[in-house]
Amino acid sequence: MLTFETINELMLKVTCSGRDVVFTRVGTFIAGENDGAKNYTFEKVLLGPQNNIGQALLGQLTRRITGENLPLMKVNLNGDSVTYYANYGQHVVVYHLEQGEMISVESENILAFSQDCDYSVRFIGVGVLSQKGLATTTLKGRGKDAYVAVLSDGNPIVLSNVYTNQTISVDPDAVICWVGNGNCDPRVTADVSWKTFIGQASGESYQFEWNGSAGVTVIVQPSERHGGISVSMD
C-alpha cells in the first residue's frame, strides 16, 4: 500500500507500507528514509512499464514514433519507507485515479505513477497543434492505489466542468493533462481568417475545447511550450 502527496508544492512524497512499485522519471529521486538498511532499489525501465513483453515493445515503438518517449526508472519498495522526488524545482500536482478513470498527459509533464495505473500511448489526431504530435500518454486507474504525479512550470490552475457543464477552452501548449471517464478528448477549434495570413492574427488561433457534457477536469500551467504552428505572411 502506498500514498502520494505534495510537499511544499515542489516535491512528491511517496509513503509505502509493505512492498510496492513506483515508476518515476529517471533522475528525480532526491531523498528517502526507512528503518534499518535501505530497503528500496532503483532499476532502469528499458521497454516500458507494461508487464507483457509484446505490449512493451509495441509501446516503446509507438512512443519513439510519436515523440511521447519518457525515460523511466522502476523503484522497488521492499518495506515501509518514505521517498521523495522532484524535477528542477517544478511544481508537483498529485491525482488519485478512481478505478476506470483516465488521465491524458504530456510525457514531459509526468513525474511518477504507481503500478495500479495502466500505461499506454494513445493517438488523439491533433498533432500539428501541440508540441508532442499525434499522441498523448494515458494512465488509467486499475486498483485502489492508482496515483499519478505531474509536473507544472509554475503554479497551475485546475478547470472542471464535471458539475458546472460549462465549456472549457485552453491553449494546447499550456495543457498539462485532462482527467475523465471514457472518451473525453478535446476537439480542436480554429479561428483562422485572412488576418492570419498577413500576420494580423492574435496568436491564439487554435484551442483545445471541451463542451459541457464532457465531464472533464483540465490542469493548465502558466507557461506555454515552444510548439504549435504559426501561419503568417511578411
Q: Is the distance from CB of 28 to CB of 77 less than 8 angstroms?
A: no
Distance CA 213, CA 181 (A): 12
pLDDT of residue 194: 44
Per-residue pLDDT of the chain (234 residues; tens, 9 = 90+): 999 999 999 999 999 999 999 999 999 999 999 999 999 999 988 666 655 555 555 555 555 544 546 788 999 999 999 999 999 999 999 999 999 999 999 888 999 999 999 988 877 654 444 444 456 889 999 999 999 999 999 999 999 999 999 999 998 889 999 999 877 888 887 765 445 444 444 455 678 899 988 899 999 999 987 654 444 333
Give the pTM: 0.82
The amino acid at 174: A
DSSP 116: T
Residue 227: how many other CB atoms lie within 10 Å: 13
Residue with cell 528500496: 40
Distances (CA, A) of 181 to 28, 75, 99, 161: 29, 28, 9, 13
Q: Tell me the C-alpha to C-alpha distance, in Å, between residue 14 and each of 32, 34, 39, 91, 115.
A: 9, 12, 14, 16, 13
Dihedral sign of CA atoms 28, 33, 38, 40 in order: negative
- What phi and psi values does residue 28 have, to the nearest 5 degrees? -100, -5
Quick one: 2-220 is in which CATH superfamily?
Mitochondrial biogenesis AIM24 (3.60.160.10)
Contact 64, 38 (CB under 8 A): no
Q: Which residues contact 143 (CB under 8 A, 6 or more apart)?
A: 99, 116
